[in-house]
Amino acid sequence: MSELEAAVREIAEEMRGRLDRGEVASYIPELARADANAFGLVVIDADGAVAAAGDADVPFSIQSISKVFTLTLALGMVGDRLWRKVGREPSGSPFNSIVQLERERGIPRNPFINAGAIAVTDVILSGHQPREALGEILRFMQFLAQDPSIAIDEAVAASEARTGFRNSALANYMKSFGVIENPVDFTLGVYFHHCAIAMSCRQLAMAGRFLAHSGRNPSTGHSVVSAERARRINAVMLTCGHYDGSGEFAYRVGLPGKSGVGGGILAVAPGKASIAVWSPGLDASGNSHLGRIALEALTKRLGWSIFGH
């Protein structure tokens, strides 16, 4: 067994035995049904070797992790013009805060808080029907993961739409400033659905490989984005990927990462590996409690922090 496989198995075993598991998200009713005891971890290295442990193949709702991929798509469509509609700074506020948006005249602080991701979704939607835009996002995820079986969990999407009053408020507020250009219901429909994509840790780690290897999938040689763009996306993930817990994640784990309230985290060790972890219990900032602890253990053990060994 390789050092990587041994590390992944031992960390998963340790996490299974822990009692401090955080709180499963309940504000989206469908997410409250997740098994609080679930834990999966997958690491895919530069050679394509997969180290997996725990519930590595159980699909879960990726939620905000989808925002990494919608950001990638939107940058591919409009390039740096995207940054006229959304900033690149950490928010320091909860992911669904409306106060900041009012103070900053409808321009969301970054593409990973809800308002920012809704603005990014609106860019992808422009010139398309909602169904087409959603199909494009889903096909992109399937292409990156090399898995056409990846699908949207319709029950989660419906649950989000029924309870998404705060997101509706954010979208309507941005619409009043002209940041949102399409009908609000269309933009929100696409947003709720891409957040409801279900993936396993194995699929998610596959999808994130291009960010770990200068914009390319090292196994196929296929270029997804330029090396510079991959670096920039990683930078935003590092500073903004964990809401107002982003500083703590950078301090403890030391890798670019993006969390979702479904309990998943996608992390990137540049030049080394793509990592996905899932544990549904969240901390106070809405990030996977055990997921972060597991990633901290992994980077310590393998010396993978981007800030030094």
The Cα 172–Cα 225 span in angstroms is 32
Q: What is the DSSP string of 168-232?
A: HHHHHHHHHTTS--S-HHHHHHHHHHHHTEEE-HHHHHHHTHHHHTTTB-TTT--BSS-HHHHHH
| Catalytic (active site) residue 251 | no
| Catalytic (active site) residue 236 | no
- Residue tagged active-site, from 43, 175, 243, 253: 243
| Catalytic (active site) residue 173 | no
- Residue tagged active-site, from 66, 67, 224, 288: 67
**What secondary structure letter does DSSP report for 308?**
-
**What secondary structure letter does DSSP report for 288?**
B
- Residue tagged active-site, from 8, 43, 184, 261: 261
- Residue tagged active-site, from 123, 191, 258, 288: 191
Which candidate, 223, 209, 198, places its Cα nearest to that of 266?
Answer: 209
Terminal-residue alpha carbon distance, the chain = 23
- Residue tagged active-site, from 61, 64, 97, 274: 64
Partners of 30 in beta bridges: none
| Catalytic (active site) residue 261 | yes
| Catalytic (active site) residue 219 | no
Residues ≥6 apart with Cβ < 8 Å to 256: 211, 234, 235, 237, 238, 241, 267, 268, 270, 306
Residues designated catalytic: 64, 67, 191, 243, 261
